[in-house]
Structure 1
Amino acid sequence: MKKRIVIIGAGPGGYVAAVHAAHLGAEVTLIEKKAIGGTCLNVGCIPTKVLLHTADLLNTLKSDAKRIGVLVDNVRLDWKALMRRKNLTVSRLGTGTLELVKSNGIEYVEGAARILSPQKVEASGHTFDADAIIIATGSVPDVPDLPGYDLDGVITSDEALSLDQPPASMVVSGGGIIGMEFAAAYAAFGTQVTVVVTSPEVLRNLDTDIALILRKALEKKGVAFQTSCSIPKVEKSNGALKLFLETPEGNQELVTEKLLVAKGRKPYTEGLGLEALGIQTKRGRIVTDKHMQTNVPNVYAIGDCVNDYMLAHVASREGEVAAENIMGNVVEIDYLTTPGAIYTSPEIATVGLMEKEAQERGIAFKVGRFPLASNGKSMITGDTSGVVKVIADEATQKIIGVQMVGGPATDMIAEGALALHFKATPEDLVHTIHAHPTVSESVMEAAANVFAQAIHTPKK
């Protein structure tokens, strides 16, 4: 008899879990109360990258076209056309995802779900029996409960994707990935952008040298930064927003058209009935084991409602792990090879440990660096401000971290993830022939520089 699995949420965690479970022979019902694809497809990964792609092209045409031998006059943004392209991309991917789900024999139900018991889920006026349940309800923007944060003009990343036109000015509150990506995009669209962060530096989870490369690049494009600063209050002022800032130099005021609150996201589990079931949570997140199972047998949870990563690719892998365990295979989630990607210009990508994390853990390590300024393909494209870092454990010689800035870093990081997965050494990367000329040669050269042996690094 087939196992029946009910999955709540059809984002990159939920629909991947559904398809994988169907491949393994389960009878699957997938329930979604908004749009298939979740945050990632509709108001996250996909639409933001559409904006960032256009922003990158604009920057190239405005500042770099003449250098590469292209003469372009009157370069300007067609905002309405960009919005149409964004919406069309989202629509096409949504249609394709729904067709994918249905082609695998999965029952797709539109409506809000409530868990009645570990064996029953209610949605859209029907009750669905289940041998196992997977909760994949995602997250929502986290907006502080502070004076004025409910005013018109105070927006989240959701609204920033669908404005009527680029604002003349925007303050971005938050220096994480979401804040940096929107700052980069809107600066290219002609908005005067100021980034306000409470920490001394942006992207505080990264090593400082990596974060500074991006900050300097954005400053060259007109983005201003105010660090160690908070915005405890917002007021309306002559049709604009007046922000009250607390800074190390004292209180200040800043007037802007839009305030983008990019302070992170919080799990969304409203209305599921977790409390009645006794499902354990911690700081709003559902607690699971390495098999993605909650403290209630046969109830699993994946994605943004579970962990701090809040990445689509993590949710997808967790969905596969949950499906495997429900179907009788013992599989554990491994976050070691989780890549992080920031789609600014320059791009940033990381996997494994940062230098500061290795130091905090007391690991003796060596670092190999290779600047993109010494890479042939980067010289061709003009994207030479970045660097590749390979971090290796001195005792085991295994690679424990890879960081990249510049070039197609978000695509290249897969090599670093693979190296960590197979417990590779820097020599393994060095002995792998890389095509020339490619930016990926910089990974090989950085690995060689763990031992100060990169071919294209001058001897000191």
Structure 2
Amino acid sequence: DGRFQLSAAGEAYEVTYLLVCTGSDTLIPPIKGLSEIDYWTSKEALEITTLPRSLVIIGGGVIGMEFASFFNSMGVQVHVVEMMPEVLGAMDKETSGMLRSEYQKRGVNFHLNAKVIEVGKESVTIEKEGKTARIEAEKVLVSVGRKANLSQVGLDKLNIELLRNGVKVDEHMQTSHPRVYACGDITGHSMLAHTAIRESEVAINHILGVEDRMNYDCVPGVVYTNPEVAGVGKTEEELKASGISYHVQKLPMAYSGRFVAENELVNGLCKLILDDDDRVIGCHMLGNPVSELIVLAGLAVQHGYTVEEFQKTVFPHPTVGEIFHETLFA
């Protein structure tokens, strides 16, 4: 009758639809000596009861920077090794650079454009610009990314189409099989918890016949460092690479009096990216609490607000959020 047969924990089930949400696993790079040491992934780093004297973090993405922030605040000597010219991957480079500069001041050592070529029990050897260097490290944290968990879930029996590093889905989260849906990290698209929640809503709605579509253009990304970094929509780098015209309006976060009062001796940035019709297509912020504020910009991106339309939003005073009002009139 076309129903699926599943078994789990000794129980057998027959179902009409499948929603596959098997998540992702930490990607472990083939680095010489890594398998011979007791290295950490994010899982082990969250289970510790004592602090190391020094830590090398392999990978300066979101997870790597969050752990660098935490261990630096605990007094650990932290080194971050990143292959790219800047930390935080595909996030806005201006705010990423500002965050890195702040943590450099706090004592974190960054090794950009560098590759780890060997790991030992108490050291990490890196290569940069053709030269090698040795970093002493009591512990090593591997944080170079995650990969979709496609194995051992039976997808091979259904001949589900894959795309890049995950399961291919359409705007309804439907796979190449009309009654199999996939959500979360397994799609390899946006490996964020809030993305997975929204994807599952879209999938269930489609199964129930309710009109709904997934829109990745307005999914916020947040880095929970101190200060926080957040972004939504297009980045300058993305638009430049695509040859798409845009312009920027930005202001330091200090234009908000409450931000100054609550964040002594630090500053931040609010940057709005606009298309040729003055519509908000991106926003990137540095400062606390931008994790709470970025959803406002996300709404502007989602609904295609122009600067004029967004300006009509009334922001209470004094708040940090009124930085949007100041930036819109900048």
TM-score bracket for the superposition, by shorter chain length: over 0.9
Q: Quick one: which amino acid aligns to residue 436 of structure 1? A: H
Alignment match, 1:130:
15
Give me the whole-angstrom Cα distance separating, in 2, the residues matched to 1:286 and 1:152.
33
Once the two structures are overlaid, the 10-residue window that deviates more, 208-217 or 313-322, is 208-217
Structure 1: runs of 5+ lacking an equivalent: 1-116, 450-460
Partner deviation per Cα, 1:124-147 (whole Å, 9 max, x = no partner):
111111110100010011111222
Question: Is 1:385 paired with 2:270?
Answer: no
Partner deviation per Cα, 1:295-345 (whole Å, 9 max, x = no partner):
112011110000331000110111011101111224221111100001111
Q: Quick one: which amino acid aligns to residue 199 of structure 2? A: E
Give me the whole-angstrom Cα distance separating, in 1, the residues matched to 2:248 and 2:273.
5
Alignment match, 2:114:
229
Question: Is 1:217 paired with 2:97?
Answer: no
Alignment match, 1:102:
none
Give me the whole-angstrom Cα distance separating, in 2, the residues matched to 1:289 and 1:256.
45
Alignment match, 1:317:
198
Partner deviation per Cα, 1:23-71 (whole Å, 9 max, x = no partner):
xxxxxxxxxxxxxxxxxxxxxxxxxxxxxxxxxxxxxxxxxxxxxxxxx
Give me the whole-angstrom Cα distance separating, in 1, the residues matched to 2:126 and 2:251.
40
Q: Quick one: which amino acid aligns to residue 60 of structure 2? A: G
Give me the whole-angstrom Cα distance separating, in 2, the residues matched to 1:350 and 1:126.
44
Q: CA deviation at 1:165?
A: 0.9
Choose the corresponding residue for 2:54, options 146, 165, 169: 169
Secondary structure of the structure 2 residue equivalent to 1:336: helix
Give me the whole-angstrom Cα distance separating, in 1, the residues matched to 2:239 and 2:30.
36
Alignment match, 1:421:
302
Q: Taking structure 1 as reference, are residues 363 and 190 closer, same or farther at Cα in structure 2, changes over 3 Å only?
A: same
Question: Is 1:142 paired with 2:24?
Answer: no
Alignment match, 2:129:
248
Q: Quick one: which amino acid aligns to residue 128 of structure 1? A: Y
Runs of 4+ residues deviating >4 angstroms: none
Secondary structure of the structure 2 residue equivalent to 1:155: coil
Secondary structure of the structure 1 residue equivalent to 2:199: helix
8 Å CA contact retained: 1:118, 1:296: no
Q: CA deviation at 1:448?
A: 1.6
Q: Taking structure 1 as reference, are residues 193 and 293 closer, same or farther at Cα in structure 2, changes over 3 Å only?
A: same
8 Å CA contact retained: 1:154, 1:258: yes
Choose the corresponding residue for 1:187, options 53, 72, 84: 72
Alignment match, 2:175:
294
Alignment match, 1:271:
152
Question: Is 1:306 paired with 2:187?
Answer: yes
Give me the whole-angstrom Cα distance separating, in 2, the residues matched to 1:162 and 1:231.
25
8 Å CA contact retained: 2:56, 2:124: no
Choose the corresponding residue for 1:208, options 90, 93, 118: 93
Provide the aligned length of Structure 1 versus Structure 2.
328
Q: CA deviation at 1:233?
A: 1.5
Choose the corresponding residue for 2:320, options 439, 448, 459: 439
Identity percentage of aligned residues: 36
Give me the whole-angstrom Cα distance separating, in 1, the residues matched to 2:68 and 2:13.
44
Choose the corresponding residue for 1:329, options 196, 207, 210: 210
Alignment match, 1:42:
none
Q: Quick one: which amino acid aligns to residue 442 of structure 1? A: I
TM-score with structure 1 length normalisation? 0.69
Q: CA deviation at 1:118?
A: 5.4
Once the two structures are overlaid, the 10-residue window that deviates more, 414-423 or 176-185, is 414-423
Q: CA deviation at 1:249?
A: 5.2
Structure 2: runs of 5+ lacking an equivalent: none
8 Å CA contact retained: 1:143, 1:149: no
Q: CA deviation at 1:220?
A: 1.4
Secondary structure of the structure 2 residue equivalent to 1:253: strand
Choose the corresponding residue for 1:360, options 221, 241, 263: 241
